[in-house]
């Protein structure tokens, strides 16, 4: 395997690691907080709404948008690390 190919393989392994972590967070927030842990979270109120309801309706969307920005930042760092930045 050439040095360039090993470089690209290492880049994609790190990229996939980031994707798995961020998608896991998104899954836990959207499915876990909105559906599975809804009853426990409904004991807490946020802005007059039960927290489980809030996560199901809005919280998972906010977390998803934040995860997009986190992914962009991580990818910019990764691109610089492996020399793929502009």
Q: What is the pLDDT along the chain (86 residues), one digit of tens a residue?
A: 788 888 889 999 999 999 999 999 999 988 888 788 888 888 988 788 888 888 788 888 899 999 999 999 999 999 999 888 77
Q: Which domain holds residue 27?
A: 6-82
In a domain? residue 48: yes
At 2 the pLDDT is 85
- CA distance readout (Å), 6 to 9, 14, 18, 51: 5, 12, 19, 46
In a domain? residue 63: yes
In a domain? residue 29: yes
In a domain? residue 1: no
In a domain? residue 32: yes
Q: Please classify residue 28 by burial: count the beta carbons closer than 10 Å to its beta carbon, then call 0-12 exposed, 13-18 middle and 19+ buried.
A: middle
Total number of domains in the chain: 1
At 76 the pLDDT is 95
């Amino acid at each position: 395997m050439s040095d360039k190919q090993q470089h690209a393989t290492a880049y994609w392994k790190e990229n996939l690691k980031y994707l798995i972590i961020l998608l896991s967070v998104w899954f836990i927030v959207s499915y876990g907080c909105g559906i599975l842990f809804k009853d426990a979270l409904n004991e807490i109120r946020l802005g007059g709404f039960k927290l489980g309801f809030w996560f199901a309706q809005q919280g998972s969307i906010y977390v998803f948008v934040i995860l997009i920005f986190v992914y962009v930042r991580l990818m910019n760092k990764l691109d610089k690390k492996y020399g793929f930045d502009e």
